[in-house]
């Protein structure tokens, strides 16, 4: 069952062309990993709760990830390196399924490249206490339940109005860029949840 979903997920992500935003010298490039694992008949997505001491997105729920560094080689390398640094996921333990659409942020001026990957379960996570307060996972079936999310209109700092999302799960509120990435991922896999 898990391998069938792996194959369908890989196929779904491979069949679509992700929207990739060209590098912009006024924005910083970043990448995140959406780590999935199979447990109790369902896929679970791993989230981090960031510490209150970080410069960007302090105290927020996020996916493991961070800013591109030249030694990463590419943005997938960034997502894998940052996932290892933040929560101890070894790059060789990640089966990369594909890439989602890039997401520009407006308050922090990043362009985030999200990658979806499957990891083994159980996994011996090792948290970096300077960056990650704790991690938690949520079944995809729960995330896809419309009662845990809401969509609303938000005014950006530049005056533009955007449609935004938030999810209330596991005693946490997922909002901002993480919620927009999650919403996009759920739209891509909607038929499989």
**CA angle in degrees (0–180, nearest 5) for 21-26-31:** 50
Q: What is the pTM of this model?
A: 0.92
Task: With H, G, I as helix, E, B as strand and everything else as coil, classify residue 157.
Answer: coil
Nearest to 59, CA basis, from 174, 140, 139: 174
Residue 145 lies in a domain: no
Structurally, the chain folds into a number of domains equal to 1
Residue 169 lies in a domain: no
Q: Exposed/middle/buried for 125, CB within 10 Å: 0-12, 13-18, 19+?
A: middle
Q: What is the pLDDT of residue 55?
A: 67
Nearest to 89, CA basis, from 56, 115, 113, 54: 115
Q: Output Rg (C-alpha) for the chain, integer angstroms.
A: 16
Name the strand (E) or helix (H) holding 177.
helix 176-189
Residue 89 lies in a domain: yes
Task: With H, G, I as helix, E, B as strand and everything else as coil, classify residue 38.
Answer: strand
| Residue pLDDT tens, the chain, 193 long | 466 677 888 888 888 899 999 888 889 999 999 999 999 889 999 999 999 886 666 679 999 999 999 999 999 999 999 999 999 999 999 999 999 999 998 778 899 999 999 999 999 999 999 999 999 999 999 999 999 999 988 887 778 888 889 999 999 999 999 999 999 999 998 855 4
Residue 186 lies in a domain: no
Residue 59 lies in a domain: yes
Residue 60 lies in a domain: yes
Q: Does 133 sit behind a cis peptide bond, omega within 30 degrees of 0 on the bond before it?
A: no
Residue 68 lies in a domain: yes
Other Cβ atoms closer than 10 A to 145: 13
| CA distances in angstroms from 176 to 62, 173, 193, listed in the order given | 9, 10, 23
Contacts of 51 by beta carbon, 8 Å cutoff, 6+ apart: 58, 59, 129, 130, 131, 132, 133
Indicate which CATH number applies to the domain containing 18: 3.90.79.10
Are residues 60 and 32 in contact, defined by beta-carbon separation less than 8 angstroms? no
Residue 147 lies in a domain: no
**In terms of residue numbers, what domain contains 70?**
2-139
Q: Which residue has the tokens 């990739």?
A: 20
Nearest to 63, CA basis, from 35, 37, 103, 94: 35
């Amino acid at each position: 069952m898990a391998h069938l979903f792996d194959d369908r997920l890989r196929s779904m992500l491979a069949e679509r062309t992700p929207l990739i935003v060209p590098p912009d010298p006024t924005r910083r490039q970043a990448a995140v990993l959406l780590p999935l694992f199979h447990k109790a008949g369902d896929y679970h997505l791993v989230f981090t709760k960031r510490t209150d001491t970080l410069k960007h997105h302090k105290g927020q729920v996020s996916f493991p990830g961070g800013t591109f560094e030249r030694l990463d080689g590419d943005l997938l390398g960034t997502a894998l390196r940052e996932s290892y640094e933040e929560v101890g996921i070894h790059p060789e333990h990640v089966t990369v399924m594909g890439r989602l659409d890039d997401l520009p942020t407006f308050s922090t001026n990043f362009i985030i490249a999200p990658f979806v990957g499957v990891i083994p379960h159980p996994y011996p996570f090792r948290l970096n206490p300077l960056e990650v307060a704790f991690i938690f996972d949520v079944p995809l079936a729960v995330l896809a339940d419309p009662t845990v999310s809401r969509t609303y209109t938000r005014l950006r700092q530049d005056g533009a109005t955007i449609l935004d999302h938030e999810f209330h799960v596991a005693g946490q509120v997922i909002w901002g860029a993480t919620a927009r990435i999650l919403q996009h991922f759920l739209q891509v896999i909607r038929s499989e949840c």
